[in-house]
Amino acid sequence: MHMYYISQITDTLRVPPNRFDEDLKSILLELARESLEERIFPELGFIVAVLEAEEVGKGRLIPQESGAFYPCVFRVLCYKPERNEIVQGRVVEVVDFGVFVQVSTVECLCHKSQMGDDFFMYKESENALIGRETGRRVGLGDIIRARVAVVGLQKNAVRVGISTRQAGLGKLEWIEEWKKSLEAKRQDAVVE
């Protein structure tokens, strides 16, 4: 499964009487966007956008209630990160225990123990994590490619832990260095 996918969601929405003269599908789409977007459903993940009202049932009036209630089926764009997926994002915050990386609509945590084989230390004056042995630096704005290690979908939050410990992952310039070292090893193997 990919992190983004299109799905359907069924909901019943109340149209207030002062909007009865407007286009019904447009009103329902607006109401669905207000009530569904940026919500989290365990089975669907994070609702990024309500794309369209696919089906609209007959409206019902309920005694002592103003408005009409319409059962609807909406097409929605969902975001649900999956373990072991490769993601890429920008470092948006550096703290003493790791970095937060913006991947789509979610800030993912890459704990400093998951950044590589080096021991990374927080250097407050540079707002960066620096590798003790390699001197590699991760700071604000850096682009990171990582593997999703942990996903937690809660009622009001999507929590994602990522890791760059695997070869071919990490800060983009580290990946380029790794590719060059692989190419050099291949060249050496061809010469022998």
CA distance 101 to 168: 17
Q: Are 18 and 89 spatial neighbours (Cβ–Cβ below 8 Å)?
A: no
Q: What is the pTM of this model?
A: 0.74
Sign of CA dihedral 5, 10, 11, 16: positive
Are 110 and 182 within one domain? yes
Mean pLDDT value across residues 10-28? 94
pLDDT at 1 exceeding the cut of 60: no
Are 91 and 147 within one domain? yes
Closest alpha carbon to 108 in 120, 122, 121, 93:
93
Residue-wise pLDDT for 50-92, tens only, equals 999 998 999 999 888 889 999 999 999 998 888 999 999 999 9
Are 108 and 75 within one domain? no
Instruction: Kindly report the average pLDDT of the chain as a whole number.
Output: 90
Q: What is the CATH number of the domain that holds 64?
A: 3.30.1490.120
Are 90 and 67 within one domain? no
User: Residue 105: which domain range?
Assistant: 86-191
Closest alpha carbon to 160 in 89, 110, 88:
110
Are 183 and 117 within one domain? yes
pLDDT at 161 exceeding the cut of 90: yes
pLDDT at 116 exceeding the cut of 90: no
Q: Read off the tokens for 139.
A: 């700071």
Q: What are phi and psi of 181, to 5 degrees?
A: -65, -35
Are 67 and 99 within one domain? no
pLDDT at 154 exceeding the cut of 80: no
Domain count, the chain: 2
Are 35 and 57 within one domain? yes
